[in-house]
Amino acid sequence: MSNAFPEYPIEIAFPDLQPYSAGNTGIAYVHSFSAPADGPHVMINALTHGNEVCGAIVVKALLDLGLKPRRGKLTLSFANVEGYQRFDPLQPDASRFVDQDLNRVWTRAVLDDQKLDSSELRRARAMLPVIDTVDLLLDIHSMHERSAPLIVSGPLPKGIALARQLNIPQHVISDAGHPEGRRMRDYAAFGDTASAKNALLIECGQHWEAAAVTVARHSTARFLLLAGVIERGDLPDDWWPAPAAASIVIQVTHAVVASSMAFRFSYAYTGLETFAEAGSVIGWDNGQAVVTPYPDCVLVMPSLRQLRPGVTVVRFGRTLD
C-alpha cells in the first residue's frame, strides 16, 4: 500500500474566535464562571490541536448560549488559537501546531524548564493557573482519518470508570499516552491514582466532518451533567444523545513508533480492525514486518499523516471485559 492520503472534504465552517479573545480569567481565550453552590471545577477545552475544529464550535456555542454552572465552577477554553488562526484549507494538517505538539508537553519538568521555549509551551504555561485548579477535564479532539469516535481514558481505573459512565462515544481506549511526551489529560493529578481529579479526551471523528460536531456536543452535554454542574434543561434538546449500548473498552498494550520515514501499512486501516491471529502483518517499518503481538489484537488510530521517526503511527490493544 502507498502512503497516499485520502483528501477529506471540509464540511464545517471555522468560527471567528476573536470575540472571545479577552476571556475573563486574565488568560486569553479562557473563560470561567462560578456558581454560588459548591461543586467541582469542570473544564471543557478545545483546540489542543489547532486544526481540530469541532471542539471550538462546541465551546463557542456554550459561550454564546450563556451557559453558567448551577454548582461549582465551569471553565471554557480555546487552547492553541495561534495554530488555529493559521489554518489553510490547502494545507489542512499544517496548523495542528506551530512549533511542537501542545498535547506532548504536560509534565512539570518540561513546563518548568525555562530553557525550553515554543509557542505551545508558552500557551501551556499561561493556562496552568487554571488547569491546576480543575477537578474534571474534558479535552475535545478529532482524528486525522475517518474512523469511529473514541473516548481516550488514560491507563488508570478512575479514567476507565468515568469513560464508562460517559458512554458517548461507545468505544473507550485505555492507554498510557505517547513516547513523545505527556498529554493534558494525563497531567499531574489527572494521572495520579491517589487523586479524585479526573480527565477524558474525546476523539470525535475526522477533523472536518460534520458528524464530529454532533459527537462533541453530545459528549460535552453528558460530561457536564455527570459532573453535576448543569441540569438537562440547561442545554437545547439536540445536545443530548440517545441511549447507547454499553461501553467497549480497549486496553492499549503496545504503541507502534516509526523508526524511519519508510513506514507503510499493508492496508488502508481506519481503526478498530481486529486480527484473530498473532503474527498478522499490518505493515512494514524500513522493510521490517510489523506484526500483531497476540490473538484478537485491535488496531487503534492508525495514521501516517504525521509520520516521522519517533511518532506513534498505530497502537495495539485488546478488548477488556
At residue 1, the pLDDT reads 43
Kindly report whether the global pTM for this prediction surpasses the value 0.75.
yes
Strands 171-174 and 263-265: unpaired
Give yes or no for a contact between 305 and 93, defined as CB atoms under 8 angstroms apart. yes
At residue 3, the pLDDT reads 52
Q: What is the 3-state secondary structure (H, E, C) of the chain?
A: CCCCCCCCCCCCCCCCCHHHCCCCCCCCCEEEEECCEEEEEEEEEECCCCCCHHHHHHHHHHHHHCCCCCEEEEEEEECCHHHHCCCCCCCCCHHHCCCCCHHHCCCHHHHHCCCCCCHHHHHHHHHHHHHCCCCEEEEEEEECCCCCCEEECCCCHHHHHHHHHHCCCCEEEECCCECCECCHHHCHHHHCCCCCCEEEEEEEEECCCHHHHHHHHHHHHHHHHHHCCCCHHHCCHHHCCCCCCCCEEEEEEEEEECCCCCEEECCCCCCCCEECCCCCEEEEECCEEEECCCCCEEEECCCCCCCCCCCEEEEEEEECC
**Structural domains for the chain:** 18-239 (3.40.630.10), 251-319 (2.40.50)
At residue 2, the pLDDT reads 44
**Cell numbers standing for residue 296:** 484478537
**Cell numbers standing for residue 104:** 506532548
CA contacts within 13 A on the Cβ side of 229 = 26
CA distance 85 to 16: 9
Is 187 exposed, middle or buried, given 0-12, 13-18 or 19+ CB atoms closer than 10 A?
buried
pLDDT in tens, the chain (321 residues): 445 677 899 999 999 999 999 999 999 999 999 999 999 999 999 999 999 999 999 999 999 999 999 999 999 999 999 999 999 988 888 999 999 999 999 999 999 999 999 999 999 999 999 999 999 999 999 998 899 999 999 999 999 999 999 999 999 999 998 878 999 999 999 999 999 999 999 999 999 999 999 999 999 999 999 999 999 999 999 999 998 899 999 999 999 999 999 999 999 999 999 999 999 999 999 999 999 999 999 999 999 988 999 888 999 999 998
